[in-house]
C-alpha cells in the first residue's frame, strides 16, 4: 500500500486494515521473535531475564506454551527468578499476570525488582483449583505473555486440573511459571514441559549484609530441547536497602576481589562483594 493510498483512505477503514494485519493485536512479535512466528511449527521464547539460563534452556528462554515448574526448596530464589522473567517479558513489550493463590504477592517488591505494575494483571482466586482454571482462561485469551502461577504450599490434589492446564498451555503462546509447595510440585512434575531445579551454592554479601544468593539452575526436563544443562544465577534480594545504591557497581562480582577478606573495606573504600559458601 503506497503512502498516497493510505492518506486517501478514511481513517476507520485504515484502522480496520491495521487491525486485520495484527497491528492492534498487541505485541505482535516480541523481540527476536519475528523469524520464529513466520515459521510454522517453531515456537518462540520469552527471556528468563538471565542470559545464562536462556542458554542453558537451549531455546533462548522459556519456550512459548510451556508450563515451567521451578523445582526449588523454599528460599532458593524461585520467586525471584519468576519476577525477573516477568520483568523481561514486559521489557520485550508483553503483558504479564500473577495468579496469587498463595496470597503472598507484594506488589511493591515486584515493582522494585523490575516489573511494571501498569502491565501486570493480579489475579486473586478463591481456591487453588480455581487458580489453575483461571490460568487456563487467561492463557487461552492469548493476550498475556507470561503468567506466574503461585499455588503456595497447598496440599490439594490437582493432578487432573494440572494435566488439563498443561495440554491447554501447549496450544497457547504464553509461558506459565509454576511456583508450588513440595506436594504440588510432585503432582505437577509429570505435566510440566520444562523443569528447572534450583540449588543454592553461595551467599552474596556486601560488608556484613547478605544481599543475595548464588543459585545453580539445572534444566532437568525440556520438552522441546535437550535437558541437562545448568547455569549459575546471582539473585539479589529486594530488601537490601542500605546497600542498594552500591549494587549496580558491584553487579559483576570480581571473584578474586570478592573473596579477598575485606581489604578494600579496611582501606575505607567501598565494601566489596563477597561470596560466602552456603
Partner 1 sequence: MTRILALVWPTLRSGRDAPPGSGAVDVPAMLDRLDDLSPRVEAVDRGVALVDVTGLGPALGDTGDERRIAARAVALVREVAPLPVRAGTGENRWLAVLAARLALAARPDPATPAAFGAIPAGPAARRTLAVLSLDLLPADPATRGRFALFGLTTMGELAALPRSAVGAQFGAEGERLQALARGEDPRPLAPRRRPERLTRRVGFEPPMEGIGGTALLLRRCCAELCDTLRARHLAPGRATLTCELEDAPPLVTALAFPEPALEPDWIARLLLGRLEAAARSRRLHDPSDGDEEPRVAAIGLALDRLSNPAARQLGAFNVQAGRWEELRWSVERLTTRFGPGRLWRATTERPRAVLPERRARLTGLGHDATGEEEP
Residues that bind partner 1 (CB under 8 A): 11-12, 15, 18, 23-28, 90, 93-95, 106-112, 117-126, 130, 134, 137-138, 141, 143-144, 241
DSSP 271: P
Alpha-carbon distances of 240 from 37, 111, 158, 277, rounded to whole Å: 40, 14, 37, 19
- Short-list 204, 235, 225, CA closest to 66: 225
Nearer to partner 1, 82 or 134 (CB): 134
| Min dist. Cβ of residue 75 to partner 1 (A) | 17
- Short-list 87, 88, 70, 89, CA closest to 79: 70
Nearer to partner 1, 143 or 189 (CB): 143
| Min dist. Cβ of residue 26 to partner 1 (A) | 3
| Min dist. Cβ of residue 89 to partner 1 (A) | 11
Q: Is beta strand 96-100 parallel, antiparallel or unpaired with respect to 146-150?
A: parallel
Nearer to partner 1, 15 or 264 (CB): 15
The contacts of residue 128 (CB under 8 Å, 6+ apart) are: 101, 151, 152, 154, 156, 158, 184
Residue 196 and residue 218: Cα distance in Å, rounded? Answer: 5
| Min dist. Cβ of residue 88 to partner 1 (A) | 14
Residue at grid coordinates 536462556 = 54
Beta bridge partners of 216: 199, 232
Nearer to partner 1, 18 or 278 (CB): 18
Nearer to partner 1, 138 or 175 (CB): 138
- Short-list 49, 179, 169, CA closest to 103: 179
Nearer to partner 1, 46 or 69 (CB): 46
| Min dist. Cβ of residue 130 to partner 1 (A) | 7
DSSP 66: -
Nearer to partner 1, 89 or 275 (CB): 89
| Min dist. Cβ of residue 274 to partner 1 (A) | 26
| Min dist. Cβ of residue 6 to partner 1 (A) | 13
- Short-list 163, 237, 170, CA closest to 200: 237
Amino acid at each position: 500500500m503506497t503512502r498516497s493510498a493510505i492518506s486517501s483512505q478514511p481513517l476507520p477503514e485504515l484502522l480496520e486494515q491495521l487491525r486485520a494485519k495484527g497491528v492492534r493485536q498487541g505485541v505482535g512479535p516480541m523481540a527476536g521473535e519475528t523469524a520464529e512466528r513466520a515459521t510454522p511449527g517453531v515456537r518462540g521464547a520469552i527471556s528468563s531475564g538471565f542470559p545464562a539460563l536462556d542458554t542453558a534452556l537451549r531455546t533462548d528462554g522459556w519456550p512459548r506454551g510451556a508450563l515451567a515448574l521451578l523445582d526449588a526448596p523454599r528460599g532458593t530464589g524461585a520467586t525471584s527468578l519468576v519476577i525477573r522473567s516477568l520483568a523481561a517479558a514486559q521489557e520485550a513489550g508483553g503483558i504479564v499476570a500473577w495468579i496469587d493463590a498463595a496470597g503472598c504477592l507484594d506488589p511493591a517488591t515486584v515493582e522494585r525488582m523490575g516489573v511494571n505494575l501498569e502491565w501486570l494483571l493480579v489475579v486473586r482466586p478463591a481456591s487453588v483449583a480455581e487458580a489453575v482454571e483461571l490460568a487456563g482462561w487467561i492463557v487461552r485469551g492469548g493476550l498475556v505473555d507470561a503468567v506466574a502461577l503461585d499455588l503456595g504450599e497447598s496440599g490439594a490434589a490437582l493432578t487432573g486440573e494440572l494435566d488439563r492446564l498443561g495440554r491447554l498451555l501447549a496450544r497457547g503462546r504464553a509461558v506459565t511459571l509454576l511456583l508450588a509447595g513440595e506436594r504440588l510440585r510432585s503432582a505437577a512434575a509429570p505435566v510440566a514441559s520444562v523443569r528447572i531445579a534450583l540449588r543454592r551454592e553461595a551467599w552474596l554479601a556486601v560488608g556484613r549484609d547478605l544481599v543475595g544468593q548464588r543459585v545453580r539452575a539445572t534444566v532437568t526436563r525440556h520438552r522441546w530441547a535437550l535437558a541437562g544443562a545448568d547455569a549459575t544465577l546471582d539473585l539479589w534480594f529486594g530488601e537490601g536497602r542500605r546497600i542498594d545504591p552500591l549494587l549496580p557497581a558491584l553487579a559483576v562480582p570480581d571473584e578474586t576481589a570478592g573473596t579477598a577478606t575485606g581489604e578494600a573495606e579496611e582501606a575505607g573504600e567501598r565494601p566489596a562483594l563477597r561470596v560466602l559458601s552456603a
